[in-house]
Structure 1
Amino acid sequence: AYELTAERCPYPLHLGVTEAGTERMGIIKSAIGIGSLLQRGIGDTIRVSLTADPVREVPAGFDILRALDLAPDGPQLVSCPTCGRTRIDLIRIAGEVEERLRSSGCRKAIKVAVMGCAVNGPGEAREADIGIAGGDGVGLIFRKGEILRRVPEAELVDELMKEIAQL
């Protein structure tokens, strides 16, 4: 319906998924519904509606835009799935980096990678502007796949945030 309307109507189109559901499923449904249209160049405004605290709707909308490279500002976090090569508490560290980026108010349009191993991490995340990769008690900080330095695992997130501040 939106495709036909976009072809025939000169007016701005608003996108949203009505009754999307609880926070988790609502974000998934909204990302698919809104994102698939935006990817085809359809839509001018969006609204994410969740059965959750309404404050969660705006960040979800920005996350959808960032995932499509349509948001002009704000960091995008990428991280690898855990596997047998993971040498750090990747789930905790990725969550901490995500929270620190959010709470810092960082508006830089950067891609930040959190990778589980130092062997493949920097290469797999070479498109990231900045990132970290875990090791056995020591991690790497890298930029565009190039290793900058090694730091103790306990200091990895703090050092990453310092690097981000300097970008």
Structure 2
Amino acid sequence: MSLNGVIMSLNGVIMSLNRVFMSLNGVIMCLNRVFMSLNGVIMCLNRVFMSLNRVFMSLNGVVMSLNRVIMSLNGVIMSLSGVIMNLNRVFMSLNGVIMCLNGVIMSLNRVFMSLNGVIMCLNRVIMSLNGVIMSLNGVIMCLNRVFMSLNGVIMCLNRVFMSQWSHHVSQ
């Protein structure tokens, strides 16, 4: 085998390797295109996720705003609850005052009822005394009639004695 045959064989081998490397280069270029397409898909997904992240951040802001509103309403409700509790204490104090006044009024009612009983007893005593006075008045009227009758008798006797006296004097 001559040197020219060896060189031609090496040239054939090199050309075959060149074709292999060109085929591998084509495969690598196809894979590069696939990876570039995947990179585009991943970039699109990244943009989608960034948009979703912005949406979630906006929703988070809305939720935080709602949380602040709810906390403010909670503060208002707690303040109103405190006001209602204070009003409840005021009403309970007023209820206690009213109950004390009711007790005082009931005590005064008992006093007035006792005084009414005393007045009724005094009224009965006065009515009894009135009956006694009316009885005494009847007795006095009877005695007055007796004295008037006695006065009439005395006047009659006086006339008799006067007529007898005048008759005696004329003789």
TM bin, normalised by shorter chain, reads under 0.3
TM-score, normalised to structure 1, is: 0.15
> Could you say which structure has the higher strand fraction?
1
Higher relative contact order (CA 8 A, sep 6+): 1
